[in-house]
Amino acid sequence: MTSGNRIYLDNAATTPLSKEVLEAMMPYLTEKFGNPSSIYSYGRETRLPIENARKQVAKIIHAHPGEIFFTSCGTESSNTAIQESIVNLNCKHIITSPIEHHATLYTTEYLAKMGKVTLDFVKLLPNGHVDLEDLEKLLAESKERSLVSLMHANNEIGNLLDVDRVSALCQKYDAIFHCDTVQTMGHLKLDVSKTHFDFITCSAHKFHGPKGVGFLYINENIKIDPFIHGGSQERNMRAGTENIYGIVGLAKALEIADAALEEESTYIQDLKSYMAEELKKAIPSVNFNGDTLGNSLYTVLSISLPKTEKSEMMLFNLDIHNICVSGGSACTSGADQGSHVIRAINNDPNIVPLRFSFSKYNTKEEIDTVVKTLKTLL
């Protein structure tokens, strides 16, 4: 996506809000301002859109509306699922991976530090995928009920998890399965009636919806207490006046993404493949991280360049040339600590990682410009 003369290739961090979504939100930012908990007309006209949004989200992932709870973001959703699994579902053992989003890593590490759980990190295969044999070994050896928290697609390298196999293992060993689907919601089909999840988490701004809103799917067979206490919103599960315009925007964005998924995924996969081939031709020293060219999300392309004085300044120099990319997760891009994901799969101090992530608004002409600029800068 070009804004003015800027090229935006950091869609895994956030996506631009689509015009159709903004139009759907506008009435609830202006004249329809009532509190949904009110009984008079202003309240009733904002209550109905929330419940319609819940039905729309549930329909797309093949859930029941009663299993969808709106939250502020993926981080809140993941914190709720993880912490309430410990408090309410008797999970005393957590299995996760070293390349999860920090919303999962920091939450699980905090619980372990507080002595509430034992924490195990499943091994990774050389290509960055979760070692499912090691996962089964950890589940089989656990003397306590386990919570397995693994993301559907890694936000930095795009590696995809075999959720069907993980789900089957969790059912076999009576474990709770929480899946962070922040990167895949709106980009891959998800059917909770066919694959058993206990919790899944979502954030609207990853598929051209607004920031500050997400949802938590809680399987109807799971009973947990509220994570945020106060009012009776979200059927007593999440207190606080609802973000009406955000919820409406989330549902609209997911509806649009789902309707165009086949066409747009083919288009974006073509962009990713094209960029990979052009990079190979232009920069022979380029390497690709994890399984980014294999069983990987089509929106993410992760590369490494040999560390030099020029490549170390690449993010800043690309920014000067009005090209927006990241060196890893947006949540750590401002900190000089590198990527925990890249370190886990390739702890080579002599590489500089870059992540390109695409949307339906990007073009091959933009990719040509980026590759040419990279070559010139190097």
Q: What pLDDT sits at residue 335?
A: 45
Q: pLDDT of 182-213, one tens digit each?
A: 999 999 999 999 999 999 999 999 999 999 99
The predicted model gives 4-32 an average pLDDT of: 95
Using CA atoms, how far apart are residues 257 and 248, in angstroms rounded to an integer?
14
> Are residues 55 and 161 located together in one domain of the fold?
yes
- According to the model, what pLDDT value does residue 333 have? 46
DSSP-assigned beta bridge partners for residue 285: none
Query: Could you say which of 73, 91, 202, 331 is catalytic?
Result: 331
Name the pLDDT band for 352 (thresholds 50, 70, 90): very high
Q: Which residue has the tokens 């919103």?
A: 233
Together in a domain, 213 and 309: no
CB distance 332 to 14 below 8 Å: no
Angle between helices 244-259 and 41-61 (to 10 degrees): 30
273 and 306 inside one domain:
yes
Distance of alpha carbon 122 from alpha carbon 321, whole angstroms: 40
Q: Give dist(CA 36, CA 244) in Å, integer.
A: 8
Q: Does 330 score more than 60 pLDDT?
A: no
Residue 228 — very low, low, confident or very high, per pLDDT cuts 50/70/90? very high
Considering the domain architecture, whether residues 250 and 283 belong to the same structural domain is answered as no
Q: Do residues 357 and 153 touch, judged by C-beta distance below 8 A?
A: no
Instruction: Report the pLDDT value the prediction gives residue 1, as an integer from 0 to 100.
Output: 60
Are 114 and 74 in a shared domain?
Answer: yes
pLDDT one-digit tens code per residue, 143-184? 999 999 999 999 999 999 999 999 999 999 999 999 999 999
Q: Same structural domain for residues 104 and 175?
A: yes
In which band, very low, low, confident or very high, does the pLDDT at 337 lie, cut at 50, 70 and 90?
low
Count of structural domains within the chain: 2
Residues 127 and 247 in one domain: yes
pLDDT at 49: 96
Q: Are residues 8 and 39 in the same domain?
A: no
As a residue count, the chain comes to: 378
Q: The domain containing residue 243 runs over which residues?
A: 19-259
E strand spans, 72-109: 91-96
Q: What is the band of 4 on the pLDDT scale with cuts at 50, 70, 90?
A: low
Please report the pLDDT score of residue 338 as a whole number: 78
CATH of residue 77's domain is: 3.40.640.10
Domain end residue (candidates: 230, 259, 288): 259
Residues 225, 316: one domain? no
Q: How far apart are CA 331 and CA 312, in angstroms?
A: 19
d(CA 257, CA 249) in angstroms, rounded, equals 12
**pLDDT (mean) for 323-327:** 94
| Percentage of the chain lying above the pLDDT 90 cut | 91
CA distance 164 to 45: 40
In this structure, the answer to whether residues 246 and 272 fall within a common structural domain is no
Residues 180 and 122 in one domain: yes
Cα-based distances in Å from 7 to 44, 140, 207, 268, 344: 43, 49, 18, 16, 30
How many angstroms separate the CA atoms of 257 and 261, rounded? 6
pLDDT at residue 347 in the model: 84
CATH of the domain at 360: 3.90.1150.10
Strand partners, 304: 287, 353
* pLDDT of the residue at 5: 83
**How would residue 327 be classed by pLDDT, with cut points 50, 70 and 90?**
confident
Return the DSSP state at 144: S
Cα distances (Å, whole numbers) of residue 186 to 183, 208, 282, 362: 8, 9, 32, 17
2 has which bridge partners? 7
Same domain, 132 and 158: yes
Domain-ending residue, one of 197, 228, 259 = 259
pLDDT tier at 95, thresholds 50, 70, 90: very high
Q: Radius of gyration over alpha carbons of the chain, in Å?
A: 21
Alpha-carbon distance of 326 to 314, in angstroms, equals 10
Active site residue 202: no
Phi, psi of 127 (to 5 degrees): -90, 5
Residues 6+ apart with CB under 8 A from 36: 43, 46, 47, 50, 233, 241, 242, 244
Tens digit of pLDDT for each residue in 40-84?
Answer: 988 889 999 999 999 999 999 999 999 999 999 999 999 999 999
Last residue of a domain, one of 259, 287, 321: 259
Please check the confidence at residue 328 and state whether its pLDDT lies above 70.
no
Average pLDDT on 244-256 reads: 98
